[in-house]
Structure 1
Amino acid sequence: MTSPQIKTALEAAILAPSPHNTQPWRFEVAEDTVELFLDESRILAIADPDGREARMSCGAALFNLRMSLRSRGVPVRVELLPDRDRPALLARVRIGGHLAVASDELVLCQAIPRRRTNRGPFREERVPGSVQKTLRQAALRERGRLILLDQPARYSAVATLLRLAEFSQRQDTDFQDELVQWVAGDPARLDGVPPLASGPPPVTEPLVLLREYGSNSQKAPREYEQEPLLGVLVTHGDTSYDHLLAGQAMQRVLLAATVCEVSASFLSAAVELPSSRASLRSLLGDGAYPQVVLRFGYGYQAPGTRRRPVDEVSTCPQNQT
């Protein structure tokens, strides 16, 4: 059995977001070590063939694990990609000792179960500059960078790119066939995205198109915000190591947004299509690699998606008590 602190940390880790809620992580637990593995069987063959997004999701799970332990006064030492002969081993977390709990980390940890991907409409309310600064700083704390699109010309160009990418995926039968496999129509299913997690149909087509998970026709049409705050999380490199950094930065940003009562959702098409991602990188103009595109705003309460239990995604030695 795992210690109560480690089990609690794993329960926090599995609340990380993942594409189509695939939950592509696996943990091996020893007395003072947690190893995080990429579950390659859960990589999306069409949307994420190289596993970039899956590795980022594992990075987000790693961040939650870290925050859960540190908020309980348990220090951690993290090695990313510790064994070149086992590329699926993404991180080794060594646990031990005591530390003073930082108030900001405690607040982030408390936000983990409240974080939601909000695919519904946002209110026409601008995210203030002070909150934008908090989100940018959150990314920097994890060696990422969040570019918030505040220049009209660049905003318009990126919004157009996002629309074209989403439209392209909607016309891609292979992508749509894969997506259907992850629409969780069965309420007992523990992965995938239930149709109710999609937003209501728009009264008029919004500037930014959102991914649809099944039919949302049972919901009354609603107006979506005209110009949501758009952010692109970028890294200097584009290796597996950078993807893990990006995932941790992404999760700190999402939790910081949750603390500030700001909703967020993913606009993934532009970074899933190679041509769109290359165009987005060119539009950003500084050579950095776009890893995540996020939509921020003030929304209404969003439903959560289910998770597989800790016992299903983790193992520990038989002789451990």
Structure 2
Amino acid sequence: MTTTSSTTWAPETFLTAVGHAVWAPSIHNSQPWRFRRTAHGIDVLVDRDRVLPVGDPDGRAARLSCGAAAGNLLLALAVAGAPGTYVLGRDDALVRLTPAAHRPATPQEQRLFRAIRRRHTNRHPFADQPVEPGVTARLTEAARLENGWLDFVVGDQAIDALAALIREADNRLNADPRYVAELRAWTRVADGAVEGVGRQAGGPAPHPAELMARRDYGGAGQRESRDPAREPVLAVLGAHGSLHTDDVRAGMALQRVLLTATDLGLAAAMFSQPVEVPETRRRLRLALGRPDDPHLVLRFGYAPTLGYTNRRSVADVVES
């Protein structure tokens, strides 16, 4: 049996699942989540001490990350033979999980679960290798399955316009000394740190001539200014609605998209700068013709795995 009663999961099942949940992405690898085992299930909570006051003043990115962690949690429970169902909370618990009827994990759940520890954010150059036809449709479907949306940006003019928005937002953020100080606080010289972004995972220093403006995590400078990939695959992710629960839902959609990409052998990069600046977020929404604000810009392609960020221990993220 995997549960102690009909209403909750056994402690060992809970802790093992949390060990997989923490491998979700978060801004600067801040890991703004906590997990609580209750008499009726598992709560996923935002760790308010890890919400970035400058980069994420309204907690939007933290809620996105907690949604992604909840997606991992659900996969881990399903593969353990103890699946769950969930509701999105409106109080301190962003997601409330309760046990569902026992069933074997589906082949898709097994594939996505195996991708959890292989998934990473690529902050290095992408190879000049085209993405196979049909991949974009599978990624779009992955977002749709979690009630999210993924719009691919196609054509030189649209790609250049998106890149310009990212660079404009990046420049505005870097003009704020508070933002720069916050970024530096999460930049880790030692790659073994359990939080933040180490130099290897952070990639090389961004070059002014790069198409997509990346954050500077203190890496070494580049000689090459040209983006090796001549046909970047770019997309914008979001969810339907503007409530806090929709931010969580967007995170669940994000994680399914990222795990699907990993399962397909793709690397992914994330650009949140244009949604961190309200004006560029509004302009991006208008350019997409969407009624809902976007949550993230994603880039997909092929790249070697050159560095992972680490995670805090399960004991550090569990509440009693």
Match of 1:5 among 2, 13, 29: 13
Q: Name stretches of at least 5 consecutive residues in structure 1 with no aligned partner.
A: 317-321
Within the candidate set 283, 288, 294, 1:284 is matched to 288
SS at match of 1:233: strand
Alignment of 1:79 with 2:87, yes or no, is yes
- Please tell me whether the aligned partners of residues 23 and 311 of structure 2 are also in contact (alpha carbons under 8 angstroms): yes
2:41 to 21, 28, 33: 33
Give the Cα separation in 1 of the matches to 2:224 and 2:201. Answer: 15
153, 166, 183: which one pairs with 1:149? 153
227-236 or 113-122, larger mean C-alpha shift: 227-236
Give 1:45's aligned residue.
53
Which of 205, 210, 218 matches 1:206? 210
Secondary structure, in 3 states, of the residue corresponding to 1:230?
strand
Question: How many residues are matched?
Answer: 311
Q: 1:110 to 1:34 in 2, by over 3 A?
A: same
Cα RMSD over matched residues? Answer: 1.9
Structure 1 counterpart of 2:188: 184
- Stretches (4+) displaced over 6 A: none
Q: How is 1:105-116 mapped onto 2 (pairs within 5 angstroms)?
A: 105-116=109-120
Going from structure 1 to structure 2, the CA distance change for 1:263 and 1:129 (only over 3 Å counts) comes to same
* DSSP 3-state at the match of 2:269: strand
Which string of whole-angstrom CA distances, capped at 9 and with x for unpartnered residues, describes residues 12-57 of structure 1?
1000000011100011113651111111111111111000000000
The aligned counterpart of 2:166 is: 162
Q: Which residue of 1 aligns with 2:177?
A: 173
Distance 1:100 1:215 in 2: 44
Equivalent residues of 1:148, 1:229 under 8 A apart = yes
Amino acid at match of 1:193: V
> 1:227-274, CA deviations, whole angstroms, 9 ceiling, x for partnerless residues?
421110022212111001000000000000000111101111101111
1:305 aligns with 2:304: no
Amino acid at match of 2:303: G
CA shift for structure 1 position 4: 2.9
| Deviation (angstroms), 1:96 | 4.7
Q: Write the mapping of 1:207-246 to structure 2, written as runs, cut at 5 A.
A: 207-217=211-221, 223-224=226-227, 225-246=229-250
State how far apart, in whole Å, the 2-side matches of 1:114 and 1:262 are.
11
Q: TM-score, normalised by structure 1?
A: 0.91
TM-score, normalization: structure 2? Answer: 0.91
Asked if 1:296 corresponds to 2:304, the answer is no
Amino acid across the alignment from 2:87 = E
- Amino acid in structure 2 at the alignment position of 1:5: T
Between the aligned partners of 1:202 and 1:88, the Cα distance in structure 2 is: 38
AA partner of residue 311 (structure 1): A
Query: Cα–Cα, structure 1 residues 208 and 10, in superposed 2: closer, same or farther, change >3 Å?
Result: same
Cα distance in 1, alignment partners of residues 150 and 184 from structure 2: 31
Q: What is the alpha-carbon distance in structure 1 between the residues aligned to residue 214 and residue 132 of structure 2?
A: 23
For residues 278 and 203 of structure 1, the distance between their equivalents in structure 2, rounded to whole angstroms, comes to: 27
Unaligned runs of 5+ in 2: 1-8
Q: Secondary structure at the match of 1:147?
A: strand
| Aligned position for 1:314 | 318
Q: Does structure 2 conserve the Cα–Cα contact (< 8 Å) formed by 1:121 and 1:222?
A: no
Question: Are 1:16 and 2:10 matched, yes or no?
Answer: no
SS at 1:125 equivalent? coil
Report the Cα offset of residue 163 of structure 1: 1.6
Q: Which amino acid aligns with 2:212?
A: V
CA distance in 1 between counterparts of 2:135 and 2:215 reads: 26
- Equivalent-residue separation in structure 1 for 2:230 and 2:173 (angstroms): 22
Cα distance in structure 2, aligned partners of 1:203 and 1:275: 25
1-structure distance, mates of 2:13, 2:201: 31
8 Å contact from structure 2 (residues 204, 218) kept in 1: no
